[in-house]
């Protein structure tokens, strides 16, 4: 059974089901949407269960040719890196839908768009054909644009437009890069062009080709991440989007760019990675400090979290381009953890926004007095985001810092400063919203979280603690895929990653089977 | 028995979780009693295997629980050796007493179960810190106790000062933690592991002096945060906004000693970096002096004790600096008892005075609070260093070790003696203003002795305060040899002649008695002296270090953050919008071309066709 | 009349002339109907080219293509004339210079 295709199709089917619901029964839309969103969640959990943890290559491979002449195919596959990206996606989408009870305007369209968006996001992580990847990567924009435009608050049309224009600008470069690469890869396999990831992997690219392709792919992904100085679309989009939009935007969409860097730039252009990685790592560290500094003085608490995302994404860039196994594994862990913690913060902000319809920090004060459960969970999320050890945020940042010190010591030490700043802006925000006396009479009358809202937060809280205390299951599955990338870079460029703490059993060579084998359906597929 | 050691940590953490989840249903005394029992059980579980060490037959063991971060080879491991055993017993023992005390002290508080949940969480976190077998696990505990400190300082969060104090404590500590993180990076780059066993065994071979100095300086930076040394001590006085049992447990007895503990744990590394030792010693003694001077002028009883804690921590840091690790740990042990006692006593006084913390409004409480007075008096004599109370032994050991280093350390020793004088002065001032003379109470205040749940811990701590010093006297250095396994072969300081030790001790005692007499003469009158001189006011304001930091660090940081936002809105978005409007104006320029006249389009098309044909003919040489 | 053999070039020159007249007609005349006829002229000049070259090279494809052109021209005339009639009814004029609503 083509499990991975089902993973993409299930949310689409769900979207159709939701769209076909009778218009005169609006009350069934929410439960139905929530119900269908659990289908991909269940399937993803099953895939996690049967996933072979020790294997570095792609599993559950699927291959159906679309055009032999142009080397275009429906190729899907999942490895340790994409596995957790997909899991993060399905978890956050289910929770976002559960948190969208308060949407009353065009509920059906809203839910259907969310499910379509889910399918597109999963598609990005699974696609191993460059053009299919690009199609999903771009398709994500449409539902997101509509979600911000129609259900957003404030100046939502401007924010939505800014979001689309920025990303589309980057995508133009990405598309150009993909076409050039496909022609070069076509030469290798003897067709006019080949969009297959494996054909690209087998192509011996010259240094110049790598340089320009790295830049073309890099601009596309850097804007999506977003990397400093391309980040200015993010605070606007995050702030104006509805709750589910913000959660998905921060939790999943930003990861598309980071995932792209790891999957394509690092893997396909190793020489250029070694050559240009330092620049990206520097920009990452600037992003860490800059995002944190900008977050401290924001008057709107959604903007605080948005800038904190810029800061966290900097850790991902640093970890990715430090080119050590700890740092790269760490940056994937940061991706997972950032999805959970920032997702939790945006969900929480959505819950209070539903009650008060204001996001201005100065309107609050003493909230922990009137809503103790809410205050407690919010504080938990704040500390998770600030990277408190024993919670998930710490593991990733710690791996990134320690791992990148081995190759980029000055940057790692500077990035460590970002950890302090995270405490500054988050705790200061918390103090102004939750502590102090209750001044605003509207705050006095607020009701604490209800059962549904607590039920949404519980899985996140459990996951954040669970991954922080026992990250081994994740790291064990991610690491083989990380090692294979680094070994390829080492093999091609001779760039040595320091060996400290690296488990010998985990080092796996890029073998001929992992390049060719998956074309014929590796693993269970 | 060490197999069950993980329970020592797990039980308080489990109880904390229970109290968070269903504490409200357990209700007022029950949630507190359960929390106290949990810590008590931990104490017993730790005390049973501790017997081996005390009997001298124990061997250090490492207990592996599970793999934490496989890619860095970090195991969740506990190290059970004399040092961690001692700290575990102090944390759970003093902790249990303070839990018991809190049942009385927090009576009637709306968030009573929440308070005990946080206290339990603290005990669990502190035990992770002290029992850790590698730096990564230690860092978990290190940060978690910071979290608990934040939660408990801002426990009464509706008070803006309490909320701000909690935040300040966490952030200032985090600045120190940056040092810890850098030290972790350096350690991993040097050793490829965080494991204490491997690092300490191979450090002399692996580390250059430069690297050892860098690592230890970074660890020391971390310690200045947690153990409140110059320049990061400013959070501790503010931390007194928390409930008094918290001040006793976290900000006097245990957490603030974590920095000293961590440095003692890293003794092997500090031995390799003599330059760090000098820095540590100077910072320690400078902190001790500065804090003692500030303590002399404080009017709030808890503030006096807070600065006194900073000052005493300075002594411990001095001990680390001069390589007298066991002396530092010894002073930390005695200090844990007498300072916890002083805080709990102060809490009892505040309780009796209906929340009044201002010493000029106290006085004459000796008869009304006999138990509190007697126990606090014991602590007063202990901290001042009067024979044979515990502080006498531990403080004199540090001073003697400093003196023994010679050279520039004579100066440090001299400053240390001056600090002893000032300590005696401010503690006597505190005792006299609180317990002697006539009552200067506000109207309606009727002081009364505290309930048994509060006085029992006072009495128990009082007994320890008197007696604990005898575990390590110059006649019988049991303690030093007892800690030997923890320091992995770090040499003891040179032996001193008994005559010299006793001479120095006698000298300090004379100075101390002088300090007591000075304060006694100054404050044991019907009218309190005015204390209005310019130095009194400066000391009362803590020499305005907070304002200085505000101007030099906070304000420029604010400006930098504002600059970042301006850059975003003006420069970066400016470029983006500039691109957009550039495209737009290009379109406007080209607009007239699209005239809507079909014939002109056709004409252009025809001309273009002709040009194209001509070009092809010229370039391509015809068809 | 010997020496004056009619070759494919003659047809091509005629076709080019017809095409040029058609272009001139489209550019110069304002009446939509006349412009339309000029376009037909251009299409037919192309047809002539197709047939001439087809004959010259002995290939049938050119004649097939010219049939396609005729079909398309017929369809185009139908739609085009309908539009012109509709425009004329609305404005009682077929002057294309007045139809500039879509200008930029």
Strands A59-67 and B61-69: unpaired
Q: What is the dihedral of CA A359, A365, A367, A370, to 10 degrees?
A: -130
Q: Choose the closest CB to C103 out of B590, B596, B603.
A: B596
Lowest mean pLDDT among A30-34, A284-288, B323-327, B498-502: B498-502
pLDDT tops 50 at residue A501: no
pLDDT score at A474: 93
Residue A510 reports pLDDT greater than 50? no
Cβ-nearest to B561 among A297, A366, A470? A297
Residue A511 confidence (pLDDT) above 60: no
Q: What is the ipTM of this complex?
A: 0.91
Q: What confidence tens digit (pLDDT) does each residue in B114-142 have? A: 999 999 999 999 999 999 999 999 999 99
Listed by number, the residues of chain A in 446-485 with a beta carbon closer than 8 Å to a beta carbon of chain B are 470-472, 475-476, 479
User: Hey, is the C-beta of A190 within 8 angstroms of any chain B C-beta?
Assistant: no
Average of per-residue pLDDT across A248-263: 93
What CATH number has the domain spanning C2-97?
1.10.287.3510
CA dist C6 and B574 (Å) reads 70
In this model, does residue B217 exceed pLDDT 60?
yes
Lowest-confidence range among A207-216, A355-364, B416-425?
A355-364
Number of Cα atoms under 13 Å in the Cβ half of residue B586: 6
Spatial distance between the Cα atoms of B180 and B208, rounded to a whole number of angstroms? 19
- Of residues C100 and A512, the one with the higher pLDDT is C100
Residue B477 confidence (pLDDT): 60
The closest CB to that of B185, out of A165, A405, A417, belongs to A405
User: Does C28 touch chain B if contact means CB atoms closer than 8 Å?
Assistant: yes
Is pLDDT at B481 greater than 80 in this prediction?
no
Residue A382 has pLDDT above 70, yes or no: yes
Angle in degrees, CA A93, A98, A99, rounded to 5: 95
Cβ separation of B185 and A419 shorter than 8 Å? no
Q: Which of A296, A218, A209, A305 is nearest to A263 (CA)?
A: A218
* Cβ count near A259 (within 10 Å): 24
Confidence of residue C95 (pLDDT cuts 50, 70, 90): confident
Q: What percent of chain B has pLDDT over 90?
A: 53
Name which residue leads in pLDDT, A268 or B354. Answer: A268
Q: What is the pLDDT of residues B455-479, one digit of tens each?
A: 999 999 999 888 888 877 766 666 7
Out of B69, B150, B560, whose CB is closest to A471?
Answer: B69
A195 touches chain B (CB under 8 A): no
* Token pair 């699209």 in the structure block, residue: B594
- Would you mind telling me the total number of residues written for chain B in this entry? 623
Q: What is the tens place of the pLDDT at every residue in B434-458?
A: 998 888 888 878 888 888 888 999 9
DSSP state of B494: P
Residue A515 has pLDDT above 80, yes or no: no
Percent of chain A at pLDDT > 70 equals 94
The verdict on B588 touching C (C-beta cutoff 8 Å) is no
- The helix, strand and coil proportions of chain A, stated in percent and rounded to the nearest 5, come to 75, 5, 20
Q: How confident is the model at residue A145 (pLDDT cuts 50, 70, 90)?
A: very high
Tell me whether residues A431 and B70 touch, CB distance under 8 A: no
Give the minimum alpha-carbon distance from B618 to chain C in angstroms, rounded to a whole number. Answer: 20
Residue of B nearest to A401 (CA): B185
Which of A24-28, B446-450, B505-509 has the largest mean confidence?
Answer: B505-509
Q: Please give the distance of CA A143 from its chain centroid, rounded to a whole number.
A: 17
Q: What is the pLDDT of residues C40-69, one digit of tens each?
A: 999 999 999 999 999 888 888 889 999 999
Q: CB-based contact (8 Å) between B143 and chain A?
A: yes
The mean pLDDT value for A159-179 works out to 91
Say whether B177 and A419 touch across the interface (CB within 8 A): yes
Q: What angle do CA B315, B320, B323 make, to 5 degrees?
A: 125
Residue B167 sits at the chain A interface (C-beta within 8 Å): yes
Q: What is the mean pLDDT of residues B317-328?
A: 91
| pLDDT the model gives residue A522 | 38
Burial A485-513 (b: 16+ CB within 10 A, else e): bbbbbbebeebebbebbbeeebbbebeee
pLDDT interval class at A502 (50, 70, 90): very low
Q: How far apart are CA B537 and CA B473, in angstroms?
A: 40
Q: B595 and C35 in contact by Cβ < 8 A?
A: no
| Pairwise CB contact (< 8 Å): B593 & C30 | no
What's the mean per-residue pLDDT of chain B? 89
Task: Say if CB A360 and CB A429 are below 8 A apart.
Answer: no
Average pLDDT over residues A235-243: 89
Average pLDDT, stretch B36-44?
Answer: 95
Percent of chain B with pLDDT over 70: 97
pLDDT at A468: 93
Q: With H, G, I as helix, E, B as strand and everything else as coil, classify residue B567.
A: helix
Digit-coded pLDDT (tens) for C15-43? 999 999 999 998 888 888 888 899 999 99
> Are residues B454 and B340 in contact, defined by beta-carbon separation less than 8 angstroms?
no
Nearest to B178 among A399, A405, A417 (CB): A417
Q: What's the pLDDT at C3?
A: 64
**Domain boundaries along the sequence of chain C:** 2-97
Handedness of CA B356, B360, B364, B366 (dihedral sign): positive
A237-249 average pLDDT score: 90
**Tokens 């030469």 map to which residue?**
A187
Tell me if chain B has a CB within 8 Å of the CB of A500.
yes
Whats the size of chain C, residue-wise? 104
- Tell me what the mean pLDDT of segment B151-163 comes to: 92
Distance from CA of B143 to the nearest CA of A (A): 7
Does residue A445 or residue B369 have the better pLDDT?
Answer: B369
Whether the per-residue pLDDT at A516 is higher than 50: the answer is no
Count of H helices and E strands in chain C? 3, 0
**Is chain A adjacent to chain B, meaning 3+ CB pairs within 8 angstroms?**
yes
User: Does pLDDT of A197 surpass 50?
Assistant: yes
């Amino acid at each position: 059974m083509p499990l991975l295709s089902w993973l993409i199709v299930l949310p689409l089917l769900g979207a159709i089901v939701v769209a076909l619901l009778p218009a005169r029964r609006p009350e069934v839309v929410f439960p139905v949407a929530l119900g269908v969103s659990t289908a991909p969640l269940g399937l993803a959990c099953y895939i996690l269960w049967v996933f072979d943890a020790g294997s570095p290559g792609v599993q559950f491979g699927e291959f159906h040719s679309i055009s032999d002449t142009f080397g275009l195919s429906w190729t899907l596959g999942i490895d340790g890196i994409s596995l957790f990206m997909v899991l993060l996606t399905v978890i956050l989408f289910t929770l976002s839908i559960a948190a969208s009870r308060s949407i009353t305007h065009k509920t059906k369209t809203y839910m259907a768009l969310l499910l379509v968006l889910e399918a597109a996001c999963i598609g990005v992580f699974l696609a191993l054909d460059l053009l299919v990847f690009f199609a999903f990567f771009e398709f994500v924009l449409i539902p997101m644009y509509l979600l911000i435009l129609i259900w957003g608050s404030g100046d939502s049309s401007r924010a939505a437009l800014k979001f689309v224009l920025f990303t589309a600008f980057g995508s133009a470069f990405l598309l150009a890069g993909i076409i050039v690469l496909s022609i070069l890869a076509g030469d290798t396999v003897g067709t006019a062009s080949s969009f297959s990831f494996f054909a690209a992997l087998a192509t011996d690219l010259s240094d110049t080709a790598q340089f320009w392709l790295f830049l073309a792919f890099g601009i596309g992904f850097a804007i999506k991440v977003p990397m400093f100085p391309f980040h200015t679309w993010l605070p606007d989009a995050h702030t104006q989007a509805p709750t589910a939009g913000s959660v998905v935007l921060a939790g999943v969409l930003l990861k598309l760019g980071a995932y792209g860097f790891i999957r394509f730039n690092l893997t396909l252009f190793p020489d250029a990675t070694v050559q240009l990685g330092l620049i990206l790592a520097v920009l990452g560290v600037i992003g860490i400090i800059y995002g944190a500094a900008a977050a401290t003085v924001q008057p709107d608490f959604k903007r605080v979290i948005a800038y904190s995302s810029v800061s966290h994404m900097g850790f991902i860039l640093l970890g990715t381009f430090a080119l050590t196994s700890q740092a790269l594994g760490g940056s994937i862990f940061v991706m997972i953890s950032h999805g959970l913690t920032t997702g939790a913060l945006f969900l929480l902000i959505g819950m209070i926004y539903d009650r008060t319809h204001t996001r201005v920090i100065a309107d609050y004060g003493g909230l922990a007095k009137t809503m103790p459960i809410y205050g407690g969970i919010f504080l938990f999320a704040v500390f998770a985001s600030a990277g408190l050890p024993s919670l998930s945020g710490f593991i990733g940042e710690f791996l990134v810092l320690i791992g990148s010190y081995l190759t980029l010591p000055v940057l790692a030490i500077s990035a460590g400063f970002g950890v302090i700043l995270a405490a500054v802006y988050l705790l200061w925000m918390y103090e102004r919203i939750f502590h102090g006396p209750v001044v605003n009479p509207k705050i006095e009358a607020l009701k604490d979280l209800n059962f549904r809202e607590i039920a949404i937060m519980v899985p996140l809280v459990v996951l954040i603690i669970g991954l922080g205390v026992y990250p081994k299951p994740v790291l064990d599955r991610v690491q083989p895929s990380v090692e294979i990338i680094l070994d390829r870079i080492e093999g091609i460029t001779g760039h040595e990653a320091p060996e400290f703490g690296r488990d010998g059993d985990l080092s796996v060579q890029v073998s001929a089977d992992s390049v060719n084998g998956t074309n014929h359906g590796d693993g269970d597929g | 028995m060490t197999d069950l050691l993980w329970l020592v940590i797990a039980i308080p953490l489990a109880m904390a979780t229970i109290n968070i989840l269903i504490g409200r249903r357990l209700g007022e005394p029950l949630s507190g009693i359960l929390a106290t029992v949990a810590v008590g059980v931990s104490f017993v579980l730790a005390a049973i295997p501790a017997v081996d060490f005390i009997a001298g037959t124990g061997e250090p063991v490492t207990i592996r629980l599970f793999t934490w971060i496989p890619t860095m080879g970090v195991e969740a491991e506990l190290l059970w050796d004399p040092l961690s055993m001692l700290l575990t017993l102090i944390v759970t023992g003093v902790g249990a007493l303070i839990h018991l005390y809190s049942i009385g002290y927090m009576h009637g508080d709306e968030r009573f179960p929440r308070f005990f949940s946080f206290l339990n969480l603290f005990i669990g976190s502190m035990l992770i810190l002290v029992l850790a077998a590698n730096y990564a696990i230690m860092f978990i505990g290190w940060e978690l106790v910071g979290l608990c400190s934040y939660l408990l300082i801002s426990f009464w969060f509706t008070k803006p000062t309490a909320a701000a104090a909690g935040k300040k404590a966490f952030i200032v500590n985090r600045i120190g933690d940056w040092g810890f993180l850098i030290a972790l990076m350096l350690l991993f780059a040097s050793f490829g592991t965080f494991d204490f066993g491997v690092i300490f065994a191979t450090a002399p071979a692996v580390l250059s002096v430069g690297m050892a100095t860098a690592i230890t300086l970074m660890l020391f930076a971390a310690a200045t945060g947690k153990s409140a040394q110059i320049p990061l001590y400013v959070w501790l006085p503010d931390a007194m906004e928390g409930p008094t049992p918290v001040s006793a447990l976290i900000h006097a007895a245990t957490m603030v000693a974590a920095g000293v503990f961590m440095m003692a744990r890293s003794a092997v590394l500090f031995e390799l970096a003599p330059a760090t030792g000098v820095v540590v010693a100077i910072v320690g003694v400078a902190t001790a002096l500065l804090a003692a001077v500030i303590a002399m002028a404080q009017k709030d009883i808890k503030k006096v004790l807070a600065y006194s804690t900073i000052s005493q921590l300075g002594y411990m840091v001095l001990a680390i600096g001069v390589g007298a690790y066991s002396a530092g740990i010894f002073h930390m042990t005695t200090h844990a008892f007498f300072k916890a006692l002083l805080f709990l006593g102060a809490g009892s006084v505040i309780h009796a005075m209906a929340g009044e913390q201002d010493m000029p409004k106290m006085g004459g409480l000796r008869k009304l609070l006999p138990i509190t007075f007697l126990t606090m008096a014991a602590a007063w004599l202990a901290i001042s260093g009067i024979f044979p109370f515990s502080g006498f032994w531990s403080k004199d050991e540090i001073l003697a070790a400093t003196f023994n280093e010679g050279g520039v350390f004579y100066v440090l020793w001299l400053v240390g003696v001056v600090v002893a004088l000032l300590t005696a002065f401010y503690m006597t001032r505190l005792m006299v203003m609180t317990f002697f003379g006539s009552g200067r109470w506000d109207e309606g205040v009727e002081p009364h002795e505290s309930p048994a749940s509060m006085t029992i811990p006072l009495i128990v701590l009082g007994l320890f305060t008197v007696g604990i010093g005898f575990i390590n006297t110059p006649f019988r250095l049991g303690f030093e040899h007892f800690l030997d396994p923890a320091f992995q072969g770090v040499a003891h300081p040179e032996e001193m002649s008994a005559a010299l030790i006793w001479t120095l001790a006698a000298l300090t005692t004379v100075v101390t008695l002088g300090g007591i007499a000075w304060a006694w003469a100054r404050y044991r009158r019907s009218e309190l002296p005015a204390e209005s001189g310019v130095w009194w006011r400066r000391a009362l304001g803590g020499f305005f270090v907070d304002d200085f930091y505000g101007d030099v660090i906070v304000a420029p940081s604010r400006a930098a953050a504002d600059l970042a936002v301006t850059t975003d809105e003006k420069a970066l978005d400016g470029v983006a919008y500039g691109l957009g409007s550039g495209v737009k104006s290009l379109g406007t320029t080209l607009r007239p071309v699209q005239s809507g006249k079909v014939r002109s389009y056709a004409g252009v098309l025809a001309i273009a066709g002709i040009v194209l044909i001509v070009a092809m003919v010229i370039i391509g040489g015809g068809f | 009349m010997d020496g004056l053999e009619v070759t494919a070039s003659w047809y091509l020159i005629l076709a080019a002339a017809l095409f040029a007249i058609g272009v001139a007609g489209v550019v110069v005349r304002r009446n939509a109907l006349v412009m339309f006829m000029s376009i037909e002229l251009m299409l037919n000049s192309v047809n002539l080219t197709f047939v001439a070259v087809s004959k010259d090279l002995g290939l049938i494809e050119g004649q097939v293509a010219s049939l396609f052109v005729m079909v398309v021209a017929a369809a185009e005339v139908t739609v085009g004339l309908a539009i012109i009639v509709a425009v004329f009814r609305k404005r009682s004029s077929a002057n294309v210079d007045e139809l500039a609503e879509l200008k930029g």
